[in-house]
Structure 1
């Protein structure tokens, strides 16, 4: 991408989109296009097509999505499949119709089968049953991947798809009803420390293994792929290492300096037993994650504490 290219970041206020926007700005890209959800509802086909028709966009980073943790996916499955199908269908089709030069679609590693071999290779897609707790979201993402591949095949477009592992970083969601595990644990443990609670209840057994990628690393990977990758096949983005939820909780406990007890509620489902991605494909292209988990969580926690001070 040349520095004067007109680039649209869909979902620029979210965890991933805001990181991509920062990365573009830090590298000298100035012709950037953004719209908040109140300014442009990506579920509205007519509004999306009007927007693309007016903006003359060269490149699209499709980071907009309805996302959430196990609880949100369990309680609102229809919302997750409907909203994500609408968002990605409208943006991908409008990008094609307006002849954008290239689009990067962001999926998720939840697209892989629940019991796929570990680490998860790109070719494991559609080889088994999905994890039931987030199947509607995963199916929507699989549809987005297939849509990009189909447009490339039929129309010769340059639509690529990246599959990031579990994300964390600045602008994360700390709402306990909808957040993912890392920000939820950080908030729970921080509030327990502040209130003097003798224990923190953590959902599940603590046994599942998860991989965590900082949003700034993902943004760097997205720019790398936009500049260097042309294939229709998906690309995993991760760190290549995982940690148990119990170990993660203990790490956060240490960072927050909370000396209470961590109690695991095994009556709540764990979800997928393990989810580690094989990152050999993107590493063979010359990209590797660089932000250590400990340092990344410390930075997020510092930002979270500052946000709390502002809102009090």
Structure 2
């Protein structure tokens, strides 16, 4: 892959897209394209087709999606399935129609069945029922994976899907109405610390186990997929290490310095009992993560303190 290769990053302002942009820039890639949602509405089929046709990128990375946690998925199921399918279908088909030979589709580990054996292998896709709390998003992402697989099978193009575990890091979403578990915890413990270490209420009983990958590691995995021809259509991206939500809460609490009580609201759903990815396929090709979760949370909290409006505190 030449440093002058024209690469379009859809969703370049988001957490994942911006990390990929930074990582590519740091490696000397100098022909990157990124448009905001105001400049290009990826739900608009004709606009996306015109853009790909006129710009002629050699590589397209789909890091654009409507995302959110359990609450957002529950409140807006139609938007989560429809908008994500519109975005990815427009990007995948326009790329195929106008000669893009390399396409990286970024999905989520929620594509796998709720009660599949652990760790989750790529071959478990479509073998059982999904987790109900995020099935709308999962179904959309599964459609994207299968679309890329179909193009790969029928036309021989290098269209690859990367399925990351739970991502976190700089530029994350800390809005409690739509955020994922880790940034939500950071926000809650920070708020409570500033309120004289007030109690923090968290959903469920704390027993589910989750795996977390820093977004900079995800960016490096994406570059790995760009710079190499991967032999299969679907790859998990993670750390192969997980911890309970309760263990995570204590880790976040200690890093932030909150001294108050943690209350578990067991009337709220736990979600999938466990989601640990089998990352052996990526490991066998030579990619591994480098940022452990404790260091990653420190980095994320420092970014939060420095960049989130109305939140100021001494850097860790």
Shorter-chain TM-score: which interval? over 0.9
1:70 matched residue in structure 2? 70
The CA deviation at 1:136 is 0.8
Whether the 8 Å CA contact 1:160–1:231 is kept in 2: the answer is no
Q: With structure 1 as the length reference, what TM-score do the two structures score?
A: 0.98
The CA deviation at 1:310 is 6.4
Mapped partners of 1:119, 1:27: distance in 2 = 32
Mapped partners of 1:77, 1:3: distance in 2 = 40
Structure 1 unaligned spans of 5+: none
SS in 2 for 1:3: coil
1:216 matched residue in structure 2? 216
Structure 1 outlier segments of 4+, above 6 Å: none
Whether the 8 Å CA contact 1:161–1:232 is kept in 2: the answer is no
Mapped partners of 2:187, 2:223: distance in 1 = 31
The CA deviation at 1:311 is 7.0
1:140 matched residue in structure 2? 140
1:95-117 deviation line (CA, Å, top 9, x unaligned):
01110120000011000000000
Alignment of 1:219-258 (within 5 A): 219-258=219-258
Structure 2 unaligned spans of 5+: none
Whether the 8 Å CA contact 1:208–1:245 is kept in 2: the answer is yes
1:282 matched residue in structure 2? 282
Whether the 8 Å CA contact 1:122–1:236 is kept in 2: the answer is yes
Q: With structure 2 as the length reference, what TM-score do the two structures score?
A: 0.97
1:7-43 deviation line (CA, Å, top 9, x unaligned):
0000011111111101100000010000011110000
SS in 1 for 2:184: helix
Whether the 8 Å CA contact 2:106–2:163 is kept in 1: the answer is yes
Mapped partners of 1:311, 1:204: distance in 2 = 27
Mapped partners of 2:135, 2:308: distance in 1 = 34
Change (3 A) 1:147 1:309: closer
SS in 1 for 2:263: strand
Mapped partners of 1:234, 1:155: distance in 2 = 17
Q: CA RMSD in A?
A: 1.1
Q: How many residues align?
A: 312
